[in-house]
Amino acid sequence: MDERAVPIKNDKKKKRAVMRAAILAILIAAIGYTIYNSATAEDISLLKVGDKAPDFALIDLEGEDHKLSDYEGQGVFLNFWGTWCKPCAKEMPAMDRQYEVFSDEGVQVLAVNIAQSDFEVQSFADQYGLSFPVVIDKTKSVMTAYNIRPLPTTILVNPEGNIQRIITGEMTEQDIEGFMEEIKPD
């Protein structure tokens, strides 16, 4: 038997043992982190139909302030979106056409962009000729308050300031018309 073969086998065994120990340590750390996170996680209350819509203040592309509470007595079509979101882009022109109809009937649209640059959002709004207020949630605080996932998501806020309906995914123009009719003040 070759004397050099024994040290090579021992080296391989040592390397395998070290690798297994490292993998085991990583797994134990991951499990520990998961258990710690679960035990210390804050209770996040998910919004549901009938809840009071959380108030917020955001600035639109023209520099105007928009507080949700300023729209009390009107229906608010609160749409969360991103310029990169294909379904968002498809529904924007329909939202704008319906806004033109329903804005005189007490329904407002607030399009809340999720943390994109002013330039990106302004270019998008110009491309589609949007006439409703477009605001940017730069810190994602409104997105967090409303537990928004995925985009697009639309929250219908009735004239009393309560959540009437939560819609996730793309809407057709017929859907948008029906939803605006639903939150129109009496």
pLDDT tier, 31 (very low <50, low <70, confident <90, very high otherwise): confident
Tell me, what's the pLDDT at 146? 93
Structural domain that includes position 56: 51-183
Task: Read off the pLDDT of each residue in 170-186 and give the average, rounded to a whole number.
Answer: 96
Structure tokens at 117: 């640059």
Tell me, what's the pLDDT at 89? 94
pLDDT tier, 16 (very low <50, low <70, confident <90, very high otherwise): confident
Give strand pairing partners of 81: 113
In a domain, 26, yes or no: no
Task: Read off the pLDDT of each residue in 118-130 and give the average, rounded to a whole number.
Answer: 95
Contacts of 97 (CB under 8 A, 6+ apart): 173
In a domain, 2, yes or no: no
In a domain, 139, yes or no: yes
Return d(Cα 176, Cα 54) in angstroms, integer.
22
Pairwise pLDDT comparison (57 vs 21), residue with the higher score: 57
Q: Which of 6-10, 98-102, 148-152 has the lowest mean pLDDT?
A: 6-10
Question: What is the number of domains present in the chain?
Answer: 1
In a domain, 16, yes or no: no
Q: Does this model's pTM top 0.85?
A: no
* pLDDT of 43 above 50: no
From residue 94, alpha-carbon distances to 110, 120, 167 in Å are 14, 20, 16
In a domain, 1, yes or no: no
In a domain, 40, yes or no: no
* pLDDT of 6 above 80: no
Average pLDDT, the chain: 89
Alpha helices in the chain (DSSP H): 5-40, 86-102, 118-128, 141-145, 173-183
CATH number for the domain harbouring residue 88: 3.40.30.10
* pLDDT of 4 above 60: no
Tell me, what's the pLDDT at 111? 97
* pLDDT of 1 above 90: no
In a domain, 146, yes or no: yes
Pairwise pLDDT comparison (78 vs 45), residue with the higher score: 78
Q: State pLDDT tens for residues 65-96.
A: 999 999 999 999 999 999 999 999 999 999 99
Share of the chain above pLDDT 70, in %: 89
Tell me, what's the pLDDT at 3? 55
In a domain, 63, yes or no: yes
